[in-house]
Structure 1
Amino acid sequence: MSDGRWAPYVPVAQRRARAEREIDRLRRQGDPAAPVVIEGRTIARTFWGKAWCDTLEGYRDYDNRLPRGRTYVRNGSVIDLRILAGTITATVSGSSLYQVRITVKPLPASRWQIICRECGGSIGSRVELLQGRLSLGVMARLCSPQHGLFPRQTEISLSCSCPDGAVMCKHVAAVLYGVGARLDQQPELLFRLRGVDETELITAASRAMPIVTAVPAAGKLLEGEDLAALFGLDLAAPAEPPSSAAPSPDAAEPARAAGPAGRRRKAAKPETAAPARYDLTPDGFVKWWK
């Protein structure tokens, strides 16, 4: 509102044109804008983006502002959105260009430690974590309204340069929905925003996994006959190891043939055992050799 009157309504096409001019201006200044681009009507499509929007819609007293915020973010009014540690800043195109600043308190260390401890052993890798490929139990734990990773309503402070005196104006609501869309593409930004390191969840998982160091007992090892029975293969017998005993003096002198005098019988070539026709690959499968 200005001078006791509401700011004049600006059509969507005019707001988009202003937004494009502002984006071009920032690019020419060497500071590329980071607009929020929504394809279709769905704002968030992944686990992290949806969970952020669900948390936002769970805040009390903001119901009347959220629908306008959804409209603004869908029509491209959030022309520059930055998510840093503890801070969200944005430029929103409305009746004018407005600056939005949202501060989020760091996640309390005690709450983060409990999350790591309770989720440890359930997350296999950072890729699984950021892609949201988690069990239902881990998802529910991370999204817990009071004890999870997402900020409570009391942990967020909102401000906008527009003349609307509401705690959450439509520009702020659009930015908060824009955060959900941005988390679809960069879910790690949620951890940056809350001041925690997502790799600690993976470290907790690796600590929770048992490490086997004991050597199996002799009776637990599979010998050749056991492998043949297990896989139904006809395994060739391995070659006999050469004897380490010293040859006898008689063996050093080749045996004389019973033929003409002075003619020696050629020493027979030692027979070479057929090579084993199988081997085990590192994955534990039998590799057949012809």
Structure 2
Amino acid sequence: MNDRFFPTGKPRAVQGGIKARSSRGAIAQTWWGERFIAVLERAGIGGRLQRGKTYARKGQVISMEVTAGRVDAVVQGSRPKPYRVRIGAPAFGKAEWAAVESELAGSAWYLARLLAGEMPADIEEVFSKVGLSLFPKGPQELSMDCTCPDWGVPCKHVAAAIYLLAESFDDDPFRILAWRGRTREDLLAKLTIASGGGAPAGAGAAAPESPDVPLADLLDSYFTLQGALPGPSPAAAVGILVQAPDVDVTVRGQALTALLAPAYRDLAD
């Protein structure tokens, strides 16, 4: 697309826009943010993405919202009315997420990292194991739309939103999973249940009324165990580490809590 068909103008200044933190070089800093940008750049649209860097750094993106399967952004260009941008990606269905959660729940390592708000470096392998890709494999898996007159894809407005989306992944890696259809709260709740750490059946429900029987008639069975006691939960054991105060200790580059997680899992077993 040749930009001469659409005379370029200086974008209108935005007060309080979303502005990229970096002033030069790469915008994404974590492996998952870089991974998202790298997927797109390797697909041959890196040059177009560069056009959005200036917009991202100038704060031309007014707002951005991430929901299951789509990102909606408002970007201010040179015209008075801001442009509306949409970036779509397939969200995984219930059965697909159930397969992922089953794999994640079976590993104390993944549980500890996710419960600590961290994205395990090899989490992509979990998705691959069940036939899924955490990140879009390329632009062919994305739908990118903008209300601007430039029919090049992506235009600089979409590109700016993509860069800020990658940076938002830096801030909150769970946003990647939310984009694919599972919020942080839902994922952690389902992982806890899948790993055996959920509330027992009937928890929270009102207890059935007992017949009015004199205590003297119940003495023979009063101290008898009325049901099986719940066993130790691996997820709950790992959760103890997460709830403990932060300990700024690393061993060979790994957090102490991550190294202790397998031991806590063995204790629960």
Indicate whether the TM-score tops 0.5: yes
TM class by shorter chain equals 0.5 to 0.7
Name the CA distance, whole Å, in 2 between partners of 1:98 and 1:212.
54
**Which one-letter code corresponds to 1:171 in the other structure?**
H
The structure with the larger Rg is 1
Separation (CA, whole Å) in 1 of partners of 2:20 and 2:195? 37
Give yes or no for contact 1:119–1:205 (8 Å, CA) kept in 2: no
Is the CA contact 2:104–2:191 (under 8 Å) kept in the aligned structure 1? Answer: no
Counterparts of 1:169 and 1:63, CA distance in 2: 12
Superposition deviation, residue 173 in structure 1? 1.5
Matched, 1:47 2:47: no
Deviation at 1:61, TM superposition (A): 4.6
State the superposition RMSD in angstroms.
Answer: 3.4
1:244-283 to structure 2, matched below 5 A, reads none
Higher helix share: 2
Structure 1 residue 181: Cα displacement:
0.8
In 2, Cα distance between the equivalents of 1:18 and 1:178?
17
1:19 corresponds to which residue? 14
| Shift, 1:94, TM fit | 2.6
Q: 2:67 aligns with which of 61, 64, 84?
A: 84
What corresponds to 2:112 in structure 1? 125
Supply the distance in 2 between the matched residues of 1:62 and 1:5 (Cα, whole angstroms): 20
Alpha-carbon distance in structure 2 between the residues aligned to 1:161 and 1:123 = 41
Q: CA distance change for structure 1 residues 39 and 67 in 2, over 3 Å: closer, same or farther?
A: closer
Check whether the contact 1:141–1:148 (CA below 8 A) recurs between aligned residues: no
In the TM superposition, what is the alpha-carbon distance from 1:110 to its structure 2 partner? 4.2
Q: Give yes or no for the alignment of 1:104 onto 2:89.
A: yes
Q: C-alpha deviations, 1:42-86, integer Å up to 9, x for none? A: 31222332232233334x352331221233222322222111222
Q: When the two structures are superposed, what TM-score results if normalisation uses the length of structure 2?
A: 0.57
Post-superposition Cα deviations, 1:180-229, rounded to whole Å, max 9, x if no partner, equal 11122232222222112432673377359xx679xxxxxxxxxxxxxxxx
C-alpha displacement of 1:175: 0.8
CA contact (8 A) 2:104 2:111 kept: no
Structure 2: give runs of 5+ residues left out of the alignment. Answer: 198-230, 234-263, 265-269
Change (3 A) 1:83 1:36: farther
Long gaps (5+) in structure 1 = 24-33, 214-282, 284-290
Match runs of 1:1-290 below 5 Å: 6-11=5-10, 15=11, 18-20=13-15, 23=16, 35-41=18-24, 42-58=26-42, 60-96=43-79, 97-120=82-105, 121=107, 122-125=109-112, 127-128=114-115, 130-132=117-119, 134=120, 136-142=121-127, 147-152=132-137, 153-196=139-182, 197-199=186-188, 202-203=191-192, 206-207=195-196
Identity of aligned residues (%): 31
TM-score (norm 1): 0.54
Aligned residues, how many?
A: 190
Secondary structure class of the residue paired with 1:62: helix
* Amino acid aligned to 1:44: A
Q: Evaluate the alpha carbon distance shift between residue 155 and residue 5 of structure 1 in structure 2; reply closer, same or farther with a 3 A threshold.
A: closer
The structure, 1 or 2, with the larger RCO (C-alpha pairs under 8 Å, 6+ apart) is 2
State the Cα distance separating 1:130 from its structure 2 match.
Answer: 3.0
Q: What letter is aligned with 1:180? A: A
Whether the 8 Å contact between 1:123 and 1:205 is mirrored in structure 2 is no
Say which SS state the counterpart of residue 105 (structure 1) adopts.
coil
Q: Residues 94, 73 of structure 1: CA spacing in aligned structure 2 closer, same or farther, 3 A cutoff?
A: same
Measure how far apart 1:168 and its partner are: 1.6
Call closer, same or farther: CA 1:46–1:85 in 2, change over 3 Å.
same
Quick check: 149-158 or 196-205, which moved more? Answer: 196-205
